[in-house]
Amino acid sequence: MPHWKRSVATVCLSGTLPDKLEAAAAAGFDAVEIFENDLLTYEGTAAEAGRLCSDLGLEVALFQPFRDFEAMPEPQRARNLDRAERKFDTMHQLGARMVLVCSNVQAAALPEPERAADDLREMAERAARRGLLVGYEALAWGTRVNRWRQAWEIVQRADHPALGLILDSFHTLCLGDDLSGLTEAVPAEKLFFVQLADAPRLSMDPLSWSRHHRSFPGQGELPVGAFLRDVLAAGYRGPLSLEIFNDEFRSAPARRIARDGLRGLIWAEEAAGVTELPASPVLSGVEFVEFAVDATAAEELGAFLGTLGFRLAGRHRSKAVTLHRNGDVNLVLNAEPDSAASERFEQHGPCVCAMGFRVDDPGRALARAEALLSPTFRERTGEGERRIPAVRAPDGTLVYLIEATETATRRIWEDDFHLEPPPAADAPEPGRFGGVDHVAQALTADMMDSFSLFYRAVFGLEPNQAWELPDPYGLVRSRAFTGGHGSVRLPLNTSESGRTGTGRFVSAFAGAGVHHIAFCTADAAAATEAAAERGAPLLDIPGNYYEDLGARLGLDGETLAELRRHHLLFDRGDPAGGGGAFRHAYTLPFQDRFFFEVAERTGGYDGFGAANAGARMAAQQRPQRR
Ligand SMILES: O=C(O)c1ccc(O)c(O)c1
Ligand SMILES: [Mg+2]
């Protein structure tokens, strides 16, 4: 067990104060920061709130914030000291020992550090008489104080044992600052409290950035792990506390967000090198994708897949499950009643209910998932069938963990399925699929951070560049998570508009889900030609797209005609990012739900054809002839 307490500020979570506290306790936090507003809107007394915390096993590590206190001219100064006394009463009832004073943001704040120091010394003296402590934090937008070194100068000048420094990763990192020199400058006993928050890199003023876009460690792009390492290296031993102001978190279920928070904190501890977890799995591809279906949908989806060259390759030994293969791609259609798949089908209709990742060591991957608070799952199995361990994604879908060496020998399929004889070695397989290129998911906006942390922390996938893709009816935000040397690629998409393809999918089918699956091939033209011959419904791309493509990339007429004839979109990689080229085509959706893509990467192309997304989404919104 770590020697620090793990804490969360109530402002991170949705609901009433009791909702927030219950969620924090259920996730496994040891302590909370009580955000004053959450107490003001609570119907009980401060003493009752304190009792609720202790009944739930939560220490009240901090009461916050106390604003606009220091360096004010009279009569405000005297009034602020009275206000502090009143809040000390509240803290006493609440059982909170420390109050956070954030740096003054009033225009009237006086510039002299000695005035700030005098006021904080007076406040600390009054706090000390009541056995309380005062921590001083630099807000990145404070009028006179916005860096930790300035706050420390004032704390040092005040020189009172009940006054110390509070560090908040957001305020430091958002200004491009860091903690270098902390160990030399600040004695460990003067580091009173540490708050952790991550955030995406945005160019906006720190106040708006902080109040709306903070996220848990691992969900953003700030070096929170290094910040934490520096704090602990300086000898800090108090609580590590998450303080996130985020519009999505405020409306999302408190229990999921609290669990994400603790997962992010544990991930940050690992990144800082102070908590050891089972190592991330070494990924080597998507072994299968599983669809929840019923008998009718199995029939229809099987036929749809047939047009893409998938043949029925096996039937499960004991369940209503079939295996469909094209080359090295395995798709499983699961119509078994009373299964994880049927639960999913009842709620969502035909949809992807599971994926299988090839990993080096499923046991270690499972142990890592558990250490990061991800629920695991073991399906009931028949005699002699194997039980493949799985991790539950934030939306309840399953990620199975399959040992890579076993997939090479196909053991996992032989054990559970009556397999059909494979096609003859010399049978032509034009545009044969070499694997799953990527699996794209459409998520509600509030699920984006949950999923990104899940893939990043549990599976070690790395976030790629974020894109804003223009659907005719709104923007789609997209960010892919990739790993295993490009063998696992998972774009995550959200859209605030309910009318985009992504938005309609999410709202029509009750939440998150796989929106499309791309198969890789060495010859996309051969694959689409064969698919078209089998009657596959391929997406038509308008002529303007090809004209623009010719102008942008200097392709000749013959090449353009060939692309168009095969329904192919084309992209070239950024030479700085490895270059290469990408040819890809899409099917129409299956029952207006998910669709498939054929993808041909050459020369180290590492993207997803984002430049083509606008044309593709416009074509998808247009009625197409079948
Ligand atoms: O946005 C704020 O006002 C605010 C208040 C208290 C904090 O600890 C903080 O980091 C920000
Ligand atoms: Mg803070």
Q: Are residues 252 and 316 in the same domain?
A: no
Average pLDDT over every residue of 582-597: 95
pLDDT tens column, 267-276: 999 999 999 9
Q: Does the residue 158 lie in any domain? A: yes
Specify the pLDDT at position 379: 72
Q: Does the residue 420 lie in any domain? A: yes
* Proximal ligand: closest to the CA of 195: 2
Kindly indicate the confidence band of residue 509, based on its pLDDT and cuts at 50, 70 and 90.
Answer: confident
Q: Does the residue 277 lie in any domain? A: no
CATH number of the CATH domain containing 59: 3.20.20.150
Strands 283-292 and 311-316: unpaired
Q: Are residues 362 and 383 in the same domain?
A: yes
> Residue 594 is encoded by which pair of tokens?
């998910």
Last residue of a domain, one of 271, 294, 322: 271
> Residue 191 is encoded by which pair of tokens?
């580091």
Specify the pLDDT at position 625: 60
**Centre of ligand 2 from the C-alpha of residue 41, in Å:** 21
Kindly indicate the confidence band of residue 575, based on its pLDDT and cuts at 50, 70 and 90.
Answer: confident
Strands 329-334 and 283-292: parallel
- The answer, yes or no, to whether residue 626 has pLDDT greater than 60, is no
Q: Whose CA is nearest to atom 5 of ligand 1?
A: 65
Q: Does the residue 626 lie in any domain? A: no
**Centre of ligand 2 from the C-alpha of residue 243, in Å:** 6
Q: Are residues 191 and 309 in the same domain?
A: no
Q: Taking the CB of residue 137, how many other CB atoms lie within 10 A of it?
A: 23
Kindly indicate the confidence band of residue 622, based on its pLDDT and cuts at 50, 70 and 90.
Answer: confident
Supply the angle between the helices 113-129 and 148-158 in degrees, to the nearest 10. Answer: 60
- Average per-residue pLDDT for the chain: 95
Residue 106's Cβ-count burial label (10 Å; 0-12, 13-18, 19+) is middle
* Proximal ligand: closest to the CA of 246: 1
The residue count for the chain: 626
pLDDT tens column, 223-276: 999 999 999 999 999 999 999 999 999 999 999 999 999 999 999 999 999 999
Residue 142's Cβ-count burial label (10 Å; 0-12, 13-18, 19+) is buried
Last residue of a domain, one of 215, 238, 271: 271
Average pLDDT over every residue of 89-102: 98
Q: Are residues 236 and 326 in the same domain?
A: no
Q: Are residues 99 and 203 in the same domain?
A: yes
Place of tokens 């409290």: 193
What is the distance between the alpha carbons of residues 461 and 541, in angstroms, rounded to a whole number?
Answer: 32
Q: Does the residue 1 lie in any domain? A: no
488 neighbors 461 (Cβ within 8 angstroms): yes
Last residue of a domain, one of 271, 292, 312: 271
Q: Are residues 371 and 263 in the same domain?
A: no
Place of tokens 């998932």: 369
Q: Whose CA is nearest to atom 6 of ligand 1?
A: 65
Specify the pLDDT at position 253: 96
Kindly indicate the confidence band of residue 35, based on its pLDDT and cuts at 50, 70 and 90.
Answer: very high
> Residue 315 is encoded by which pair of tokens?
């039937």
Q: Are residues 391 and 287 in the same domain?
A: yes
Place of tokens 């893409």: 308
> Residue 379 is encoded by which pair of tokens?
């399906």
In DSSP terms, 468 is beta-bridged to 477
* Proximal ligand: closest to the CA of 206: 1
Q: Are residues 258 and 369 in the same domain?
A: no
Q: Are residues 146 and 265 in the same domain?
A: yes
Specify the pLDDT at position 493: 95
Q: Are residues 103 and 166 in the same domain?
A: yes
Specify the pLDDT at position 36: 97
pLDDT tens column, 402-430: 999 876 667 789 889 999 998 888 888 89
Q: Is 567 annotated as a binding residue?
A: no
Q: Does the residue 449 lie in any domain? A: yes
> Residue 68 is encoded by which pair of tokens?
């606009």
pTM exceeds 0.80 for this model: yes
Specify the pLDDT at position 385: 73
Q: Are residues 236 and 295 in the same domain?
A: no
CATH number of the CATH domain containing 342: 3.10.180.10
**Is the minimum distance from the CB of 211 to ligand 1 under 6 angstroms?**
yes
> Residue 125 is encoded by which pair of tokens?
């003296």
Pocket of ligand 1, candidates 7, 210, 224, 246: which has the most ligand atoms within 8 Å of its Cβ, to mutate? 210
Enclosing domain of residue 362: 283-620
Query: What is the 3-state secondary structure of 245-290?
Result: CEHHHHHCCHHHHHHHHHHHHHHHHHHCCCCCCCCCCCEEEEEEEE
What is the distance between the alpha carbons of residues 439 and 289, in angstroms, rounded to a whole number?
Answer: 9
Range scoring the smallest mean pLDDT among 201-210, 237-246, 572-581: 572-581
With vertex at residue 27, the alpha carbon angle to CA 25 and CA 31, rounded to the nearest 5 degrees, is: 45
pLDDT tens column, 440-460: 999 999 999 999 999 999 999
Counting residues of the chain whose pLDDT is more than 70, the rounded percentage is: 98
Count of structural domains, the chain: 2
Average pLDDT over every residue of 203-211: 97
What is the distance between the alpha carbons of residues 467 and 184, in angstroms, rounded to a whole number?
Answer: 42
- The answer, yes or no, to whether residue 326 has pLDDT greater than 70, is yes
**Is the minimum distance from the CB of 68 to ligand 1 under 6 angstroms?**
no
Q: Are residues 480 and 614 in the same domain?
A: yes
Q: Does the residue 625 lie in any domain? A: no
Kindly indicate the confidence band of residue 1, based on its pLDDT and cuts at 50, 70 and 90.
Answer: low
Kindly indicate the confidence band of residue 387, based on its pLDDT and cuts at 50, 70 and 90.
Answer: confident
Residue 265: half-sphere exposure toward Cβ, Cα within 13 Å: 27
Nearest of 65, 73, 136 to residue 106 by alpha carbon: 73
State which residues have CB under 5 angstroms from ligand 2, the bound ion.
Answer: 168, 195, 243
